[in-house]
Chain A
């Protein structure tokens, strides 16, 4: 053998044997707009947020043969609501408290791990230090409940991974190594600001919505746009109408510091065709009008906002529940679906009212009350919502309301399949005897307002707390209902194999026939299924990845504790479980 070639060959073999992976292909705008079938580039799969995979290797005929291929224990330092991404055979996994891992999506091998404050940072990355945070720092060993430390979704763009942190900052990591490229401070965590939603990428801009606006402070919640190369803030749009601005009188004469809420705690969607970012906002705080001190609509709470990603300008807004008064978020995912050539946006809030808006204009098209709530009357012609007699909270007076303040629908995103024109909506069927209390109207005070709470089952649901509701659009007819004693505790995933994947609090993960709701496969994992299931393929083989986690406050923990006490789960167990067909 040639004396020059041999050492080179040896070197190549050595590199190969250390499992070095080639640099990842950059995630371009073109890729984001038309993701390859085997990838999962957005937190809900595609830009349209359908939670849908066009892979069909796993289908109704063979799904019963699904087997565990690999699993991965995640950090047990807090609530896990992971929405993994997959690109080029690499799975990017958000853990609680800012930890992110890159794993070989086929084998489950760890490629790199980012641990805030521990992973080496690039020169000039300027990471936040504990000393800098002072009193606002969470102890590194603290357990992060649902209040702070949740990391739902992350974003991929170019050669970087982007995440939003418990310390109200945004970070960029090298997607091939996990090195911190930059950290951008967005707001002061000492004021309560933090992120639970991660960024999305819209027309070359990182867009992120902040949360933690429960209590009174001198500022309000907002959505920001950032330069993905540097983190520099390009624009900031308040999610609350300020005094003196258009819509500012919708809060009565309350000064800015008493205009709380409108947290943007769930990531939005971006439509390259309309060049608009769609982002939901939470209810006003305190929850009850009587504690808030205004009967006004309180713009732009509980609204869908359409923003220009380059400027942050609010092109339109649609307020679903003006002057909301029971903690009924309309902040959740925005599905972009064209119906008969009409560009529509579908979404559903805690009340279980399914909305269809024109996503170019924000015009109301249709709303369907799915029939479980007892708080409002919906006029389906106009979309106007009015409170039923006696249903507005009064201080200290018990209210028998459905749903509870946890809602029927929460962060567990619905999926859509074009195969059957069905939405798969994860619902928790529950009610509450709620007694709302007052707040202190001082800076630092406020908050949601105390609620004396008695959780109760829903009268229409028997012993069942969980439901996956398959709703045909645009009409809103129910195609089928899958009911279960345990709460449904994941987002749904629809696949072209005619399947819907989900999981429940009682550790079961399963596949349903997307057309009939019949259960075709089931397995059981380490703890409650919790998070956002995804599907992807590597080298022609399709995988289903299902996250599990043992955490989460009222939505995930309190209702099962009170209403299905016979079901038990372990105290830890955050993890990811990946299934495929036998070779």
Chain B
């Protein structure tokens, strides 16, 4: 049984389980295999995960895409795959960094530390839009309701792999 990795944020000091990949680097086929394995083994646990039900609105993600272009793309690239010292915010890289962690923690990181040049300088709504865009880009479904601070402050949302 695969267990989601309890990763450690860079300021957090809890115990951490080791993340082991059985292979060297990951080809497309192997990646698919890994994701299927993860999804399959977590299917039961994921059924109720709000991320898979939809947590943001399309309009929010569309605004987020514009804000991303203005504030994030010069480092993380237009397609979110990252650049030099800025990690990819999508796909395998995103999951390696964030799987098993609380969505609210991702929001805190985003809204407190980003952009690295001017941390915390954007309006809260813009950070929410950016998170919505990030979720959309990673393949999580939209909802009719917008993601807001009340939802983030509520029941924790564990980041799980997106639906295939």
Residue ranges of A at the interface with B (Cβ–Cβ < 8 Å): 78-79, 135-136, 138-139, 141-149, 192, 211-212, 214-215, 263, 286, 290-293, 395-398, 405-406, 435, 437-442, 444-445, 447-455, 550-555, 557-558, 561-562, 571-572
Contacts and interface: CB of A to CB of B under 8 A. Distances in A.
18 contacts: A142-B70, A143-B115, A145-B115, A146-B117, A147-B76, A147-B85, A215-B82, A263-B84, A396-B20, A398-B16, A437-B19, A439-B26, A445-B81, A449-B93, A452-B97, A553-B84, A557-B117, A562-B10
Nearest to A449: B93
A406 B31 CA distance: 29
B85 A448 contact: yes
A445 B27 CA distance: 10
Q: How large is the interface on B (under 10, 10 to 19, 20 to 34, 35 or more residues)?
A: 35 or more
A570 to B, nearest CB: 10
A437 B85 contact: no
Contact of A192 (B77, B92, B113, B117): B77
A293 B24 CA distance: 6
A450 B18 contact: no
A553 B26 contact: no
Contacts of A437: 19, 92-93, 96-97
A179 B113 CA distance: 39
A435 B19 contact: yes
A438 B84 contact: no
Contacts of B11: 454, 562
B92 A440 contact: yes
Contacts of A550: 117-118
Given A142-B74, A148-B74, A395 B19 contact: yes
Contacts of A212: 83-84
Q: Which of A146, A397, A555 is packed against the most chain B CB atoms within 10 Å?
A: A146
Given A215-B81, A553-B75, A290 B24 contact: yes
Nearest to A282: B84
Given A396-B20, A571-B121, A572-B118, 16 more contacts: A78-B74, A142-B69, A146-B75, A146-B86, A148-B75, A263-B84, A290-B24, A438-B92, A440-B31, A447-B87, A451-B87, A452-B7, A452-B10, A553-B85, A553-B117, A558-B116
Contact of B117 (A79, A138, A211): A79
Q: Which of B7, B84, B115 is packed against the most chain A CB atoms within 10 Å?
A: B84
Given A439-B25, A441-B28, A454-B8, A405 B69 contact: no
Contact of A552 (B24, B69, B117): B117
A80 to B, nearest CB: 10
A143 B97 contact: no
Interface string B6-40: 01101100001011110011111001000000000
Q: Which of B16, B69, B78, B116 is packed against the most chain A CB atoms within 10 Å?
A: B116
Contact of B70 (A141, A397, A441, A445): A141
Contacts of A214: 82-84
A291 B25 contact: yes
B119 interface: yes
B79 interface: yes
A440 B28 CA distance: 7
Contacts of A554: 85, 116
Given A405-B85, A440-B31, A551 B117 contact: yes
B84 A146 contact: yes
Contacts of A442: 27-28
Nearest to A141: B70
Contact of A292 (B25, B93, B119): B25
Nearest to B75: A147
A441 B24 CA distance: 11
Nearest to B7: A452
B113 A396 contact: no
B150 to A, nearest CB: 28
Contacts of B27: 441-442
A488 to B, nearest CB: 19
A201 B71 CA distance: 34
Contacts of B75: 145-148, 553
Given A147-B77, A147-B84, A148-B74, A452 B96 contact: yes
Contact of A441 (B25, B78, B84, B119): B25
Nearest to A571: B118
Contacts of B84: 146-147, 211-212, 214, 263, 448, 553
B52 interface: no
Instruction: State the 6 A-B residue pairs at the shortest beta-carbon distance, nearest first.
Output: A396-B19, A147-B75, A437-B96, A293-B25, A145-B75, A450-B93
A438 B88 CA distance: 11
A144 B77 CA distance: 11
A266 to B, nearest CB: 13
Contact of A445 (B86, B87, B91, B115): B91
A406 B81 CA distance: 20
Nearest to A135: B78
A143 B74 contact: yes
Q: Which of A211, A290, A452 is packed against the most chain B CB atoms within 10 Å?
A: A452
B117 A438 contact: no
B73 interface: yes
A432 B120 CA distance: 24
Nearest to B69: A139
A448 B86 CA distance: 8
Contacts of B82: 214-215, 447-448
B83 A450 contact: no
B85 A146 contact: yes
Given A447-B93, A449-B93, A145 B117 contact: yes
Contacts of B10: 452-455, 562
B26 A147 contact: no
B113 to A, nearest CB: 7
A444 B85 contact: no
Given A398-B16, A550-B117, A571-B121, A192 B28 contact: no
Contacts of B85: 146-147, 405-406, 448, 553-555
